[in-house]
Chain A
Amino acid sequence: MTDVIVRVPAVLRPFAGGADELRVTAGTLGQVLEQLAARHPQLVPRVLTPDGRLRPYVNLFVDRTNARALQGLATVVPSGATVSILPAVAGG
């Protein structure tokens, strides 16, 4: 278990109590999301499908690497890592 910073994008902040950054202690990306779900029940359903897969309009990055290119939710999160949630936005 390590300390991880989670960056919350503006579009999801209403579901995270307005926070732009959250700190959790977790070993994998899946555990990061479990921690978030415990604190902000409305947030994680916007990131994961009901059966626990990453939604197709959201990317999760562990530092600069896309979790889809790693082991998905099983990706081990190193200590001090930043997890960034990046949903698609279309504003122009």
Chain B
Amino acid sequence: MSVPTPAHGAAPPDDVAPAEAYERVRAGVTLLDVRDAAEIAAGLPAHATHLPLCELERRIAAIVPDRARPVLLICASGRRSSQGAARLRALGYDQAASVAGGFQRWRTDGLPVARAPGVPDDLDVERYARQLTLPEVGLDGQRKLRDARVALIGAGGLGSPAALYLAAAGVGHLTLVDDDRVERSNLHRQVLHGDADTGRLKTDSGAARLEALNPSVQVTRVAERLTADSARAVLEHAHVVLDGADNFATRYAVSDACVELGIPDVHGSVFRFEGQVTVLWPSAPGGGPCYRCLYPEPPPPELAPSCGEAGVLGVVPGVIGMLQATETLKLLLGVGAPLVGRMLQYDALRGGFDEFDVPRDPGCPVCARVTRVMSNG
């Protein structure tokens, strides 16, 4: 684009390096940050005034009434501030100049950064910027996620993608429950672990990966297999449980404990090219089944081969685990319609989902008794 000629015919001022700009600002020169509001959430140069480029001409006179005074402009990398400086010079601000390299270089050069006005100091707003802008999340929702406690049963095919996305989303407290160690045959689907983790406890390798992804997440490691006796104690502080276990005994133990605790059990399971996902939560408004309502008894071993025996396409637990993570975030945020009383069945080969109604069993030996006790207060 063409750059307007300075009004008085003088050569336009050169771009100014960030360190030099900072010196001038400290000496009283006005520094305008012309980035958008969303961009300054992570902070802006110390002493800068926020004036988005689109409002430059309209508001400049109120901020810098004297056109003879020098003005510095900064953006993310230096391009928009350069255009802005030219536009100001066209208005008669002959001393308008751009900061070379923008805010990126400002930060790399270690210059001081100020908090943007109206931005809270208790959230990493830059990290979560793209979901903070969703009205369904916002600052309140992000704080809910930060304060949330989710227990993941299994750090395997389902738990891996779920844990990664929950940590990335800023769920503040994750408990990984798994007694297995990483084997090389896990790695095609258990993306929480890497080749160098072979032989490590999955809870250790998973916690390290999650903390590297998002250091603000606290990961609790429980390197044991949940049983009917231990499940309640391990899960009692969780707001939501995400079940990605690989055996029926653990799944019944998890479901029974969740019924007793009155918390949702986000259930996922896979077999070869197929997967199921639902939210088991009998005490939810409107109710829903527990695992025993759905399947009162486990199948015999010949009809229940594990992934190890039957094989599984690695992406299938990826799809199902991600749906579990999605349902978990919805529950924590209190948005949307949870998969309570409904089951999604995914068939990768057919390339389709089916949805089934899964009602509560009023005669269920576990949830009918517990929810009756709860409703009686």
Contact = CB atoms under 8 A, between A and B. Distances in A.
B298 A57 contact: yes
A57 B357 contact: no
B159 A20 contact: no
B307 interface: yes
Given A61-B356, A65-B357, A89 B270 contact: yes
B247 interface: yes
Contacts of B317: 91-92
A81 interface: no
B303 A91 contact: no
A73 to B, nearest CB: 17
B358 A66 contact: yes
Interface residues of A, number: 26
B157 A66 contact: no
A56 B307 contact: no
A91 B271 contact: yes
Contacts of B299: 55, 57-58, 87-88
Interface string A61-78: 100111011000000000
A37 interface: no
A87 B303 contact: yes
A90 B356 contact: no
A10 B271 contact: yes
Contacts of A89: 269-271, 274, 276, 304
Q: In the complex, which of the residues A9, A65, A69, A88 has the most CB atoms of chain B within 10 Å of its own CB atom? A: A88
A75 to B, nearest CB: 14
B8 interface: no
Contact of A11 (B159, B246, B271, B355): B271
Contacts of A10: 271-274
B312 interface: yes
Contacts of A68: 359, 361
A84 B354 CA distance: 10
A84 B343 CA distance: 13
27 contacts: A9-B274, A10-B272, A10-B274, A11-B272, A11-B303, A11-B304, A46-B303, A55-B299, A56-B295, A56-B296, A57-B299, A64-B355, A84-B356, A86-B345, A88-B248, A90-B245, A90-B246, A90-B269, A90-B298, A90-B306, A91-B157, A91-B246, A91-B310, A92-B154, A92-B244, A92-B245, A92-B317
Interface of A: 7, 9-12, 20, 46, 55-59, 61, 64-66, 68-69, 84, 86-92
